[in-house]
Structure 1
Amino acid sequence: MSASLSIPPRLAPVLDDLTPAQRAAALALGRVLVLAGAGTGKTKTLTAGVATRIELYGMEPSRILCVTFTNKAAREMRERITRACGEGMAPSWLGTFHALCARQLRAEPDIAHLRPGFDIRDADDVLAIVRRLIKSVPVEQLPRPMEGEPGDARQITKMAERISRLKEELVTPEMAGHHVEAMIARAHAQKRFVDDAGWRFVVGLYARYQSLLREQNAADFGDLLMWPTLTMLQNEIYRYRWSRRFTAVMADEFQDVNRAQFLWLKMISEVSGELFAVGDDSQSIL
């Protein structure tokens, strides 16, 4: 493919810095998955893929979405693309999943039952809310072994993590009861241990927690991804409206995506059919 292409002068040094396999990947269009080990140039290949789409294929930077897992990685990618393509040429939709999904949710906050200008609660805020809610529960209603220790930091963290896990699975408070009972039934059928009482307690806690966030016009990090993803799954018009914005979607550290992140990437790239992902399959959590 690359032999028949006329490579722009500004792109040539970017591609020359790649191995033949990396170069072929950077030039490829459609759905591309680059798998390689740590330190083998995956992010460099991704950056070259972005530069290729801008310099060779003429895609507008504002219509390329690039997602990373950390703010540091996002800054480094922006710097690399700027060096390759020039000042002001880095995609405006470049950032972490949370940052990009926050932009999406702020554009239409009503999908999460929120109002414009909603606040975002960080991890410490979440723990404080969960602690307050648990402390308001009579001791006799607490699941063992939490009984008698409603303020225990480990228990607070465990309950907050379970709420986060439900959101990663795209489970709303209304769905939580059925989801948890199905999970418990599967565990029993497979003769695996499951904290039945603890998970059933989380169902009610999750509902109270989410209700409190809505009263405060606030979202946690899980909400930022869950509501746009759920809405794209359930509403074809909403999905098309967002997916058509982007001519290419580029994802770093693909091995680390959870279910919600995977579905978000799949749907946001639906119209273009352009999803370029790099990852290390030896570290995959899927």
Structure 2
Amino acid sequence: MRIFRSIDEITEQLPGAVATIGNFDGVHLGHREIFRRVKRDAGLLGGTSVVITFIPHPVKALDLQRDMRLINTYAEKELLIEASGIDCLVTIPFTPGFAAIGAEAFVREILVGRIGIRKLIIGSDYAFGRRREGDVNLLRKLGERFGFEVEVLEQISGDGIVYSSTAVRRMVAEGDVRGVVRLIGRHFSIGGTVVHGLHRGKDLGFPTANISTEKELIPRPGVYAVKVKIGDVFYDGACNIGNNPTFGNERESIEVFILDFDRDIYGEEIRVYFIDRVRDECRFAGIEALKEAIARDVASCRALLADVSIIEYREYLGGVMA
């Protein structure tokens, strides 16, 4: 996939460009269906499939006083869009200057002038441009004027579920990591670097990998059955998210006990895939009670993970996007 990190990098129009525009946070099943149609129609034209998105997310850039946590890091989003088989990704820096561009100027100068749009596929609630003045009706009028087709998709759903980034955020924040697979089509994961913690796990007989991550959206505090990817190998694990109330830590941490594993991985990048929630985080009367609870957690995780296969972004689109 070719990535343009600014409009200025597009020095010639993309042949037969079929595009979609949006933030695509989470790259959920609804987004994937849009990408599938973009790829299909570009193929029919012998053209180029294009996804146009923004960095940072407009909510972050405009400081709208909303506590919205992104589902994916920008690096994850790029990988997920690439896994969808898209030819070109255009990531437009969302600056105050860009936010001030009117809808018609955006279409004329960027979609038509730079990209050479032939067809635009959008959702029914899509709006763009200064003060979101560009709606579906305006796009269709501009499409007629500049010679590109506009296709509007209604809300995309499956099995009675409407796919939305808001729903994904809610489910992950509530700890429903098993249920969210139905919306994103893969296991929710967190990538990060293994860093030194307080080393209490080792003293308890359950040494943990403490993870430093750029991920904004973290599951609700508690214990989770997880799969841990180190290099190309998967391991079963038990993950605790929270502030360890038995010890009264002030900062929330993400700690993973990797089952049947004994190697120093400080400084290494790992990825944790969340399979199911085991329990809430609890305060225990003492160290022995905590050790007994951890042992039960590990046994529960081992049983939950026995027959689980991870759905990764490289795999879940293999047959769908062909």
Structure with a larger share of its residues in strand: 2
Higher helix residue share: 1
Please report the TM-score for the alignment, with normalisation by the length of structure 2: 0.25
With structure 1 as the length reference, what TM-score do the two structures score?
Answer: 0.28
